[in-house]
Amino acid sequence: MAKSQDRLYPLDRIRNIGIIAHIDAGKTTTTERILYYTGKTYKLGNIDEGTTVTDWMAQEKERGITIVSAAVTAFWTPKEGPYAGIETRINIIDTPGHVDFTAEVERSLRVLDGGVTVLDAEEGVQSQSETVWRQADKYKVPRICFVNKMDKVGADFFVTLKSIRERLGAPAYPINLPLGAENDFKGIIDLITQKAYAWADDPTGMKFKEIPIPRDQNANVERYRHELVEKIAETSDVLLEKYLAGEDIAPGELKAVLRSAVIAYKIVPVLAGSSLRNKGVQPLLDAVVDYLPAPTDIARIEGINPKTGEEEIRNLVVDAPFCGLAFKIQIDPHVGKLTYVRIYSGKLSSGTSVLNATKRDHERIGRLLLMHANTREEIPQAYAGEIVAVVGLKNTATGDTLCEESAPITLESISFPDPVIFLAIEPQTKADQEKLGYALGRLSEEDPTFRIKGDPETGQTIISGMGELHLEILVDRMKREFAVSANVGRPQVAYRETIKQQAKAEGKYIRQTGGRGQYGHCFLRVEPKGRGEGFEFVSEIKGGAIPQEFIPSIQKGVKEKMDIGVLAGYPLVDMKVAVYDGSYHDVDSSDIAFKIAGSLALEEAVKMAQLVLLEPIMKTEVTIPEQFMGDVIGDLSAKRGQILNSEHRGNSVIITALVPLAEMSGYVTTLRSMTQGRGSVYMEPSHYEEVPQNITDKIVAKIKGPSKES
């Protein structure tokens, strides 16, 4: 890693990219090939053998999936194009494909400048491909598409291209075409330079040679090159004049304008290859350098000045005041808590003090580390455009902004989805009790979608997450990394409660116990809000019916009652609460009295506002052989599923449906038995919907009945 010691790397020669995709599209294999061809590794890593660099956790090696995003740094020098002969530093984050670990993708995209979306050439655009694409849209991340697995049976580059345009709505244009497909896939044709390359003799894919474009490909090359050049010319007045005049446009000009178009998200370049067969990865690296943005292309970042509340602009240069975003916490067994920081401007030095602008707190930078998956290199300073890990930050959490005290700025944070599933956990012995609390605390620091709360009635701890696999991995990590033995309950669905109409109620709390008593009295009005709009509290008190200092206490009482629910013990959501009247006592009124009054008033009001239960609905994608289609659709319908569509792809059928999570417990096993082991299912949270009354009655009876279960 000697090169990385040359610390101040020119900003225009840095690329911060993420590899994003559906599960099993080949992200980790693509990352491994990038590390091999850039000289970072000397052996081709293999997922099946557990020898990959970025999948370093024991659970990742055992299951063959990515669980946590891993940051690695590589250096690449293109042989052609505007960056020919210039070494570029590429900071890569390999992200998970499984929806249960969506937080890893969300936070990675928040701090990256560009993305590489990997797609399976046989499967095309899949559900999680759409999800990560939307996440990238949210943070306006320019990206390129790599159609991987061109060697796979059923691989079809042009059908995949069509699905990118239709399902993702992306302005996708191929910049290279595959030479052959399935067993005959041997190389690519570069549409800009009109050269063909074949990977024939070298099994490692390190060497490839230029070959004449096969005659049977001429029509395809002409069609797609014409389409590409026309689209590139549309984004530049100078090129458009040349194009309309019928002049030849040099490859260098096309590449320069294509770069601007990609950064402006006017074009998404599409490339073909097979990472596992070591074909087409070098052109992908060239495309990353040629077309994805450097920090200088982003130019500036906007934030808020925490002191004035006004917009603050920071130029992404080394000589600006320091600011950066903490986007990931990792607990390292050797050095303790690592905080990953993307530095947007200025420089960061070990041993200095910085301001956590989000928490208005001072933090001391202990050591700075350059991460290469789970190996580390200590560095004295880090500069704008870099991603580093910091040791020594005590109170900084995911999404916090770090900056110089003399130039405060708060950057846009990172939003995460709410958990949809939970389970009860309790320590086996007294010795495990303390260890359990410590382990859960450390794991929730790392993962913002992992939530913990205590159940005062049962004494159990309730942990919530994004799916059964998510919680399974966390419990496994607890046992391995923190040596905690615990009893774990069955996964339960995270229901919500809400109201359907407006209602008013009074809350009065009066206690007289000799000397000073307690007096709190308020009137509340509750109103339903749209699904997903959250909670809003307003004060409509006029004329001092309740002193201003007691209003926050009423709000606190309301919020606490909402958290524990009224109908079946699930959190109340999507409602507006207004305090519009009340009274107080000069001596006896207190914060606690008004808090209790607020809680009592809310409980009474929601009982009159048509309380209903909401359940998480999962977008479910089932891939099965065609002969089982009728049985599977019938089974999904019996599970209260709403079939959205079915699509034929090769000999398979892909059924998309919306199904309540409560009905999908153990569905993988059910599907396998229905399809002779040949079916697969993918689920991701879609939205919350009202539970039918007959099922609500059963849930309430089970929770409030005499045989109460945790």
The domain limits of the chain are 10-297, 300-411, 421-494, 497-609, 614-700
Over 50: is that where the pLDDT of 349 sits?
yes
CATH class of domain segment(s) 421-494: alpha beta
Considering the four listed CATH numbers 3.40.50.11540, 3.40.50.300, 3.90.1150.10, 2.40.30.10, the one that applies to the domain covering 300-411 is: 2.40.30.10
Question: In what helix (H) or strand (E) does residue 236 lie, and over which residues does it extend?
Answer: none
Please provide the DSSP assignment of 329-380 as one string. EEEETTTEEEEEEEEEESEEETT-EEEETTTTEEEE--EEEEEETTEEEEES
Model pLDDT, residue 458:
62
Q: What angle, 0 to 180 degrees and rounded to 10, lies between the N-to-C axes of helices 430-446 and 468-482?
A: 120
- Please check whether residue 96 is in contact with residue 267, taking contact to mean a CB–CB distance below 8 angstroms: no
Whether domain 497-609 has CATH 3.40.50.880: the reply is no
Q: State whether residue 398 is helix, strand or coil.
A: coil
pTM: 0.74
Q: Which fold has domain 614-700?
A: Alpha-Beta Plaits (3.30.70)
Model pLDDT, residue 593:
94
Model pLDDT, residue 101:
67
- 614-700: same fold as 421-494? yes
- Domain 10-297 sits in CATH at 3.40.50.300
Percent of the chain whose pLDDT exceeds 90: 36
Highest mean pLDDT among 388-397, 453-462, 603-612: 603-612
- Taking the C-alpha atoms of residue 48 and residue 359, their distance in angstroms, rounded to an integer, is 44
Over 50: is that where the pLDDT of 674 sits?
yes
- Taking the C-alpha atoms of residue 196 and residue 210, their distance in angstroms, rounded to an integer, is 6
Over 50: is that where the pLDDT of 535 sits?
yes
Place of tokens 């309309």: 244
**What is the rounded average pLDDT for all residues in the chain?**
85
Task: Read off the DSSP letter of residue 245.
Answer: T
In angstroms, how far is the first alpha carbon of the chain from the final one? Answer: 52
Q: Which residues pair with 647 in a beta bridge?
A: 654
Sign of CA dihedral 196, 201, 205, 207: negative
H-type helices in 322-394, by residue range?
none
Q: Region 493-513: what's the mean pLDDT?
A: 91
Model pLDDT, residue 38:
83
Categorise residue 154: left if φ over 0, alpha if ψ from -120 to 50, beta otherwise.
left
Model pLDDT, residue 51:
47
Categorize the per-residue pLDDT at 506 as very low, low, confident or very high, splitting at 50, 70 and 90: very high
Beta strands in 185-287 (DSSP E): 187-190, 195-198, 209-211, 268-272
- Please check whether residue 436 is in contact with residue 330, taking contact to mean a CB–CB distance below 8 angstroms: no
Please name the amino acid found at residue 265.
Y
- Taking the C-alpha atoms of residue 71 and residue 377, their distance in angstroms, rounded to an integer, is 13
pLDDT higher at 9 or 687: 687
CA 640 from chain centre, in angstroms, equals: 29
Strand 535-539 vs strand 575-583: parallel, antiparallel, or unpaired?
parallel
Task: Read off the DSSP letter of residue 293.
Answer: P
Highest mean pLDDT among 322-336, 533-547, 660-674: 533-547
Q: Region 499-523: what's the mean pLDDT?
A: 89
Q: What is the pLDDT of residues 285-313, one digit of tens each?
A: 999 999 999 988 887 888 998 888 888 88
Over 90: is that where the pLDDT of 591 sits?
yes
Model pLDDT, residue 53:
47
Q: What is the pLDDT of residues 64-83, one digit of tens each?
A: 555 566 678 888 988 887 78
Nearest to 298, CA basis, from 384, 400, 383: 384
Nearest to 600, CA basis, from 507, 520, 677, 673: 507
Model pLDDT, residue 397:
87
Over 50: is that where the pLDDT of 652 sits?
yes
Categorize the per-residue pLDDT at 273 as very low, low, confident or very high, splitting at 50, 70 and 90: very high
Over 60: is that where the pLDDT of 13 sits?
yes
Over 60: is that where the pLDDT of 52 sits?
no
Q: Region 611-621: what's the mean pLDDT?
A: 91
Categorize the per-residue pLDDT at 229 as very low, low, confident or very high, splitting at 50, 70 and 90: very high
